[in-house]
Chain A
Amino acid sequence: MIQQITVWLQSISPDVLTKALRVALTILIGLFVVRVLAVVTQRFIMRKSTAQRQMIARKVIGYTGFFLVLMGVLSELGLKLTALLGAAGIVGIAVGFASQTSVSNIISGLFLISEKPFGVGDVIRIGTTTGIIQSIDLLSIKIRTFDNLFVRIPNEKILTSEVTNITRFPIRRMDIVFQVDYEQDLNKVHDLLARIARDNPWSLDEPAPVIIFSDFKESGIEVLLGLWFAKSDFMDLKNSIMKDISSSFATAGVRFAHPNRLVKIVEGSAATS
């Protein structure tokens, strides 16, 4: 086996061997330098930048470096770059027509990166999908939903859709809407809700909780309880406040509204109408 390899190597001319060695060295050293540059940029130069900016820098260095290494290799192989670039222009036009969607996604991605409506780690809602942004790439963004699904959304769709960044601001308001029976004392309901909000450890006392009797509905009076909270406390507040409302209402004898119909049968009305 070794003898066969030796014979094969001896059959190759020294020029070809030298060229192959130079190509291999260009690839190895080039990719190593690109890798080192990416790591140094991410860990030292952009250490205090956001995860999104680090990712963009890493990708810009990676793609640019890979392109330069490729050009170097082609140059070593004796290909004339000017002719190649001319051919690439013609091919590019053809490919461009064939890949309009991809180009649109790339341009949308550039807009998203410059506009910065969200960053890596933000929680966003787009359509019916809610999740944490894992990466923002040239063609799409990748999201991990709360039930651990991987969702890829093309950049073009994001640019033309309504996107809600849930974690953009440090505090949020949680609105809880329910109905109470028409026979309830609304002052009592108001005081009860104010006490529930005040006693809940996750609810901020400033901005103050909002209590609004918002509408007369078919079965009861609609009440809105709006509580401000730090964005990381969503689950704690949601669970605790629902339990607090339920138990406090039960203890105080306040009844939630249930769908009901009052049917009056008037004697003889059918005969007259």
Chain B
Amino acid sequence: MQKTGMAVWDQVEIAQRQCAAWRFPLRSIWVERIESEWHALSLPEKGRRAEARSMFIPRTQKPESSQWRHYLHRESGLVQPTPVLPDRPIVVRPDRSLTLLPGQSTIFFLEIPVWFRLSTVGPRAARIFEEPLCVLTRTWFGDPVTGDLCWGLAARLHHSIDSVETSAWIAVCPLMIENDSDTDLDFEKICLHVENLSIFRGTLRLWANSLNVIFKGPDQATQIEIVHTPPGFEQGLILVSAARQPAAGWNIRKTFGMLKYFTDF
């Protein structure tokens, strides 16, 4: 097995006493199968901009570490690595100050680092572990009493998909924003409930659901709509991981929940 790019998310058959490695720019993951145990190790990388790749490695070359974790699961050696979105909302802080004037609309492409999930495949399929491929900062969104613990992400807001680098460990989330108010909309931070979003696999990129945001003013509810169909910026997208907490369309509770989170626009 020697795979690069999006192929690192293909199914892999790991034989007994065989060690597989998935190497990403900021984190590497090793998995070894011994009897009915799965041994997993996740170590940070030095951040070099390299293409994601996966391979089998000789057992003698596996890293010596006390951080190997052991999971017991009696299933055959076929495993499915899956990109999943983080388990908490993400607060995106744009790298530059941006203001959307009244009556204007725009589209941004947000880059969200994914987590690596490894599951067994078969009649007793089970999730073995999950590991973030980029450790984000912890942050708080909202007031100190009723806010939410989130992951913080400093990111560039891309206006065009062409400026987004292709990557096998970054999901692109198209964000269509319309300022339907009389006031300026300043982008200081944006809270995205990524646990409500799915991931789709394309040929060069991973995609998250598109979001339609209609800003009606600081005192009114901001409408957020999750587009459940694959983003139309690439053809032939395949759903690879469903949302952790699927949002079943548009409902009142969600509306008011989102209102709270989006008051800091």
Contact = CB atoms under 8 A, between A and B. Distances in A.
Given A205-B152, A206-B152, A171 B139 contact: no
Contacts of B145: 169-170
Given A169-B144, A171-B144, A205 B149 contact: no
B141 interface: yes
B91 interface: yes
Interface in A159-188: 169-171
A52 interface: no
A183 B112 CA distance: 45
Nearest to A168: B145
A171 B135 contact: no
Contact of A203 (B138, B147, B149): B138
Interface residues of A, number: 14
A228 interface: yes
A170 B139 contact: no
A207 interface: yes
B140 interface: yes
A266 B144 CA distance: 58
Interface in B140-159: 140-141, 144-145, 147, 149, 152
A206 B140 contact: yes
Given A170-B149, A206-B91, A230 B138 contact: yes
Interface in B101-159: 135, 137-141, 144-145, 147, 149, 152
A204 B135 contact: no
Contact of A201 (B91, B135, B141): B135
B259 to A, nearest CB: 19
A184 B149 CA distance: 36
Contacts of B139: 204-206
A118 interface: no
B153 to A, nearest CB: 10
User: Binding site of B, secondary structure by majority: helix, strand, loop or mixed?
Assistant: strand
Contacts of B189: 206
A37 B147 CA distance: 38
A207 B139 CA distance: 7
Contact of B140 (A201, A202, A207): A207
A229 B91 CA distance: 16
Interface in A210-239: 228-230
Nearest to B152: A205
A202 B144 contact: no
Nearest to B137: A205
A32 B138 CA distance: 51
Residue of A169, A201, A205 with highest tally of chain B CB at under 10 A? A205
A228 B189 CA distance: 19
A206 B149 CA distance: 10
Interface string A186-207: 0000000000001001111111
A202 B147 contact: no
Contacts of B135: 201
Contact of A228 (B140, B141, B152): B140
Nearest to A199: B137
A230 B149 contact: yes
Residue of B138, B140, B189 with highest tally of chain A CB at under 10 A? B138
A21 B137 CA distance: 70
A169 B239 CA distance: 38
Residue of B140, B141, B189 with highest tally of chain A CB at under 10 A? B140
A36 B144 CA distance: 41
Nearest to A198: B137
Nearest to B148: A170
Interface in A57-80: none
B144 A204 contact: no
A229 B144 CA distance: 11
B171 to A, nearest CB: 22
A165 B140 CA distance: 21
Contacts of B137: 198, 201, 204-205
B141 A206 contact: yes
A251 to B, nearest CB: 20
Contacts of A229: 138
Interface in A122-156: none
14 contacts: A170-B144, A170-B145, A171-B144, A201-B137, A201-B138, A202-B138, A203-B138, A204-B139, A205-B137, A206-B139, A207-B144, A228-B140, A229-B138, A230-B149
Given A170-B149, A206-B152, 13 more contacts: A170-B145, A171-B144, A171-B147, A171-B149, A201-B135, A203-B138, A204-B137, A204-B140, A205-B138, A205-B152, A206-B139, A206-B141, A230-B138
Sorted from nearest, which 4 A-B pairs have the closest CB atoms? A206-B139, A205-B137, A205-B139, A204-B138
